Structures are given as C-alpha cells and as structure tokens.
A and B are shown apart, each in its own frame.
Chain A
Amino acid sequence: MQFGQSIQTKLSGLIAAIAVGSLALLPVAAHAKTNEKEPMEVHFSFEGPFGRFDQAELQRGYKVYAEVCSACHSMNLVSYRDLAAPGGPFYDPKHPVAPAQSPYAKAIAEQYKVPDIDPDTGDTIQRTATPADHFKAPFANDAAARAANGGALPPDLSVMARAREGGPAYIYSLLLGYEEPPKGLTVPAGKYYNPYMAGDMGSYWTGAKTQIPEGGFIAMGKQITASRVQFDDKTPSTVENEAHAVATFLAWTADEHQVERKQTGLAVMLYLFVFTLITYLSYRRIWRNVAH
C-alpha cells in the first residue's frame, strides 16, 4: 500500500522529531565549578514510574528525623496531619477520615509544644500541638539557630531532597560520607570535611594544585552512627539502614504526592494511548481516498 507506507515514513519522522526535541532538553544539568564526589550508587523503593514508598521505612525515617535531625533542622512546610495523609508514613486505611482526625497524627502532635499567643492575655505561651500545626522548629528564629550552631544555619529540610542534585542519594551519601581529611587540608574550626559536600577548598589545601581533594566543608558533624536510633520494627540499627530510612523520609517530605502522581500518570498515559490509537485509525480512514 503506497500511501500507508508514506504515512509510516511521516510518522517515524514525527517520532524522530520528538525524540530529537527531547534530547535537546537533556543537557540542561549544570555543572558548578566545585568538585564534590558523585553520590553513591544506592537504590530506593520509590524509583521509576512504578516505584512506591515503603511505609515501614518511612516510619523508620520519621523516627531518625524526630530523634536526630530535628534537634537542629526545622521542617516548616510539613504538618503533623501530613504524616497520616494517604501515602504518608502513618496513613492507616482503617481510619479513612481526614488526616487531621487520625489518632496517629494526634498522638504524634501531642508530644510537642508550639509557641502561640494566649487569646485572653496576649502573652506568648507554649501550647500542645494539634495535627494541623506544622512541625515544631527547634529554634525560635534563624538568629537563634545560628547562635546555637557556631554561626551556621541548619537548612530547613522540607524540600531538601529536591534542593540538591542527586536528591535522596546525595543525602544518603553525605550522611555516610564523613571521612578523615586528607593530609595537607586545613579544616577550619567548627567545620568537618565531607567529600560529597559542594565547596571549593583550594585555599585550604597545601598540596599540589592539581590534587585538590574532592568535596567541601560542612558545619554539621557526623550524626548517623550505629545504634543511634532503635527501630520499633526490629530493623537493625546499622548506619546504612538509618541513612537510607531518613533519605527515604526526606524524599517523601519533599514530594508528598509522589505516589499519587505516578498512579495518576499511569492512568493518564493509558487513556491517552488508547485515544491516540483511535484517532490514528480515524485519520487513516478519513484520508484513505486522498493522495497526499
């Protein structure tokens, strides 16, 4: 069939065009003039179009955050009710009510006191948190956070997994990547060497200019150590498990609707695919008598 073939040619032309177009989109990733190490090869359950969060790991990750990270890092964009929302670490299908009514969200929120204003006296008070409250910040303000951390501001962790190249793999690598600084590197007081941290260490390096070590300085010391957090589900408290769990949890806080997004996406793609096929067949039928 002559024009059937020509349609195929044109179709493959279009596909090629789209492929080339998409390729043109790729080389956008920027390379800064720093030479930190590439993140470690590490895998997560939520990778790929079919990936899902492992709820048990999200709960373990929350525990690492609550017991370790939250001592210095705020998470201002996440509220206690989010923990019990569909897809969250403490979602329970047996309580299909609004997340703010979830007994888990309530129980977690009740452990915290948050600042408020007494409506009768106008005094500043501390009241028990409700599921609607955002995570309690460890410091009253940035100045207090800096004062308690040697001048460095611990960054808010809400979107950390989206705010660094490499995302959760970067977080995992950074937490486990602390090592002895190479000989010839002067580490400033109150700083630590980490090969996964971005930075330019040229002026702290006394060795050959061609061999400036990878990485940079970070104001946070090594936090993830074996048995630092006892997991309730008997998962061994190895450094790898702790770091992997908290990286997973931060991937969720940065992208709470990720699983919902991918599930919706699969339905959308299937619908569009069938619709495209039907439209293509209509096109073939309508044009069948026109040489073009």
Chain B
Amino acid sequence: MSGHSTYEPKTGFERWLDVRLPIIRMAKDTAIDFPTPKNLNYWWTFGGILAVCLVIQIVTGVVLAMHYVANSAMAFNSVEHIMRDVNHGWMIRYIHANGASMFFLAVYMHILRGMYYGSYKAPREVLWLLGCVIYLLMMATGFMGYVLPWGQMSYYGAVVITNLFSAFDKVIPGVGTAITTWLWGGFAVDNATLNRFFSLHFLLPFMIAGVVGLHIWALHVPGNNNPVGVEVKSKEDTVPFHPYYTVKDGFAILVFLLLFSWFVFFAPEAMGHADNQVPANPLATPTHIVPEWYFLPFYAILRAVPDKLFGVLGMFGAIAMLFALPWLDTSKVKSMRYRPTARWFFFLFVAATIGLGWCGGKLPDDVVLPVGRDAVTGEATGFTVVMLSQTLAIYYFAYFLVILPALGLFEKTLPVPENISTPVLPKGGAAMPSGAAASPEKKG
C-alpha cells in the first residue's frame, strides 16, 4: 500500500513477525494511520456501510445454508422450516432477505457519490472498474438468491432472465437456445437449475469479498477522492483514518442499521412480493412478473425496446456504461460542485433512473398520461409506461454517450480551490492549531 509506514514494532514478537509477515504493519498503515482527506462528507460513509452489509450477508447466508435444502421439491418448505422451527430462523432469514435490499440501496448511494464527485477519474480508473465488477457480481448473486426460496416469483424470475439469452438465436441460430439449455442444466428451469444457482449463490459472495480486497487496495494507492476533487497536497489536508473516520463511519453505519432493523423487525415483507409465498408452479404463470426493486430500472430498459435482442443488449449496455464512464467523461474537473451545468444533468440522470425503476414495476401498457379513450373498449389511451421508459432510457444513454463527453469540452467550470484546506477554513483563514488532529484523545 502507498505512503510511508509509521509502524514501529514495540514488542519482541511484533519485531519477529514484522520481518516474516508484516501483517500488523499493513493493518496499522491501512486502517489506523491511513491519511484520509479531512473534508469527506456523509456520502463517503457508504463504503464502510457496504463492508458491513457484505459481512452481514455472508454470516447470515452461511447459517441459512445449514438449514436450506436446494431441491425443487423441498426448497419452499425448507425456507418455511427456517421461518418456523429453526431458533431465530425468522430473524436470520429476514436479515438476509432485507439485507440484499439494503446492500443495493447502499451500493446505489456509493455509485452515485462516485459519479457526482468524479471519483472514477485519473488516477482512480482501476478502483472504479473493480467497483463495477463488484456491482455486477452483486447483481448475479442477488438474482440467484431470489430464486432459492422457489416461490412463484423466484421461478418465473429465473425463467425470464435465463430466457434472455435465447435472444442470441437471432445472431447465430441455435446459439441462444444452447446457452439457455446450458444455464438450466436441462430443457427447463428445474431442479438442476436450482442446485447450480444455490452453488453459485454460495460462491459469488466470496468472490465479491476478494474483489473488495482489490478495491480497497486500489483505493489506498491514490488515496480517497474528496468533495472538492482536489488531490491531497500536504499533511494539513488529511487526518488519520482512526479515530476520525472510524467514528464518523461508525455513526453512519449505526444510522443505516436503524433503517435496516426497521425493515427486518417491522416491515420484513415490504420489499417482497405476495406471489413468492406461493410455491413455484411451472403450469401457472403469475399475472405480473416483476424483479426485485433494485433491478427495476434495467428491467424497464429491457422492456422499452420492442426487439428482444436489442432489449437485452440495451439492458447489459446500461451496465456497460458504468464501466466506460472514466473514458466518457472528458472534463478535467472532478467534483460537480465546480461543474454548474453537469450537476443539473446529473440530477436529471438520477431522476431518470428512479423514473425507470418506477416504470419497471408497472405494466408496459399502463397509461401514464391519458389523452383519449379507445373507441371499442373505452380504455384510456395516451402516453404509456413503455413510452415513458423509452424516453427515460434515451436520456440514460445520452447522459453517458453524449452529455458527459460534450460537457467536458464546452462547460464553463467554476474556479477550483487550491487545496482541500482552503474551502473548509473559516473566513479569515485561521488554520487548525498545529497538531490538533494528531492525537485528539489526549487533549481536553
């Protein structure tokens, strides 16, 4: 990791270990002494929140796997067995099920923070790409986890998503079908599919943990970005990670856990779907198949395109945009605090994405703005959900492919501060008393 190490082994054992495996040195340098910009706001606390989410999901998931049965005839009842008969099984399962939603809520905050403050720009492109890989792995894990209870929505979610790959039959006939058959392990979503989804659902979180390690490594080489987007220039710009950010992250994590607990204990089914309490039945399709809320914007993009193949490409393309972002944004200014035009396009982008999520939960033919009535059925006609999805999807892609590349060339940015300390000092410029940040626990 970067920076000069300040660790001095004090005991004989520490000196012995330090020349063999400097693990204490690494821990001290990265989690205690690590110089962190002093101006990070609460949007920066989602990294720590996400680490907590991952640990919660792995711990509860491992316990659930001790009681769950990955068999199409027994999966549904084994989940009910966890809910009824396993000691505190209801709590473990509700933490895990709601934990997935909380994980995605936090990751969306984390991604949007990165987009607003330009955290993907040089020298943090690799850091950003690793984050995108984590997000992709999370989506795969979340999707496969939702299939495991083997309710109606689990089953039909798996059918819809795996069937997307059959769209590639249009490119080379037979290839799409071959891919879906390979994914299913048979000719339909069935026991073989459930078993492999369980296996992968268990594996992927550990791969996420591995990539998180790389993500943190890639963070610690250039160090944190910060709200002004100006790199750290001197020691005055930073504070040691501990205790400053352990306590600030700790506070944010606790606020987050309050929200999390509210869902777990008082509204555990609020983000679920009643149909998923009905055991999977391949002969009875639910009237309305919807994914979990965190996939809805992509689901809306998929349905916005009349052609299946291009719908699938659009959906994956929406995620691919994130990977390409460091090279699409041409502006030299990182933080949108100093990009008065870009920030409005950004807020519009957030609104468009939430709008797409809303569309994803509606029926495509539902009317948003009624204009007239159908002469035969008398049903309202007008601007439908699918038209709104198309409009918003066009903006979604335009933001990445047109607006950001062009803005970098034409936007008149505001003056960027010389360094991190300048904008935070009170007027008059009285700097912080020297050494005040070094060891606050020793001062009155």
Contact = CB atoms under 8 A, between A and B. Distances in A.
Interface of A: 2, 10-11, 13-15, 17-18, 21-22, 24-25, 27-34, 49, 76-78, 82, 155, 158-159, 162-165, 198, 208-210, 254, 256-257, 260-262, 264-266, 268-269, 272-273, 275-276, 279-280, 282-283, 285-292
A contact patch SS: helix
A265 B95 CA distance: 12
B424 A162 contact: no
A30 B361 contact: yes
Contacts of A254: 277
Contacts of B239: 290
Contacts of A11: 42
Contacts of B39: 292
Contacts of B268: 261
Which of A2, A34, A292 has the most chain B CB atoms inside 10 A of its CB? A292
Interface stretch (B158-166, B386-394, B399-407, B435-443): B435-443
A265 B264 contact: yes
Nearest to B358: A27
Contact of A25 (B101, B109, B421): B101
Contacts of B431: 291
Nearest to A257: B90
Contacts of A163: 274-275, 277-278
A156 to B, nearest CB: 8
Contact of B258 (A31, A264, A272, A283): A272
B354 interface: yes
Contact of B250 (A18, A260, A261, A279): A279
Contacts of A262: 265-266
Nearest to B443: A289
A291 B425 contact: yes
A18 B358 CA distance: 18
Nearest to B90: A257
Nearest to A164: B274
A264 B94 CA distance: 13
B287 A33 contact: yes
B424 A292 contact: yes
B124 interface: no
B265 A269 contact: yes
Contact of A257 (B83, B278, B377, B432): B83
Nearest to B376: A209
Top 9 nearest A-B pairs (CB, nearest first) are A265-B265, A210-B378, A163-B277, A32-B287, A289-B436, A276-B254, A14-B42, A162-B277, A32-B288
A97 B293 CA distance: 43
B441 to A, nearest CB: 8
Contacts of A283: 247-248, 250-251
Nearest to A48: B266
Nearest to B278: A163
24 contacts: A14-B252, A17-B109, A21-B108, A22-B259, A25-B271, A27-B361, A28-B290, A30-B288, A31-B363, A32-B288, A33-B363, A163-B277, A209-B378, A257-B84, A266-B265, A268-B261, A268-B265, A269-B265, A276-B254, A282-B251, A290-B436, A291-B432, A292-B39, A292-B424
A31 B288 contact: yes
Contact of B38 (A10, A31, A260, A290): A290
Given A208-B378, A265-B265, A286 B440 contact: yes
Nearest to A287: B244
Interface in B96-114: 101, 105, 108-109
A7 to B, nearest CB: 10
Contacts of B277: 159, 162-163, 254
Contact of B437 (A208, A276, A289): A289
B62 interface: no
Contacts of A210: 377-379
B255 A261 contact: no
Interface of B: 38-39, 41-43, 45, 77, 80, 83-84, 90-91, 94, 101, 105, 108-109, 239, 243-244, 247-248, 250-252, 254-259, 261-262, 264-266, 268-271, 273-275, 277-278, 286-288, 290, 292-293, 296, 354, 357-358, 361-363, 366, 376-379, 421, 424-426, 431-433, 436-437, 440-441, 443
A18 B259 CA distance: 8
A158 B80 CA distance: 10
Given A2-B426, A33-B287, A276-B251, A77 B77 contact: yes
Contacts of B425: 291
Contacts of B441: 286
A31 B443 contact: no
Nearest to A158: B80
A198 B39 CA distance: 55
Contacts of B77: 76-77
Contact of B377 (A209, A256, A268, A285): A209
Nearest to B255: A276
Contacts of A34: 287
B361 A289 contact: no
B266 A21 contact: no
A273 B265 contact: no
A262 B262 CA distance: 10
Contacts of B292: 28
A114 B270 CA distance: 37
A18 B273 CA distance: 22
B437 to A, nearest CB: 5
B255 A14 contact: yes
A198 B286 CA distance: 11
Contact of B254 (A256, A275, A288): A275
A10 B41 contact: yes
Contacts of A78: 84
B67 to A, nearest CB: 15
B42 A290 contact: no
Nearest to B435: A289
Nearest to B440: A286
A275 B277 CA distance: 36
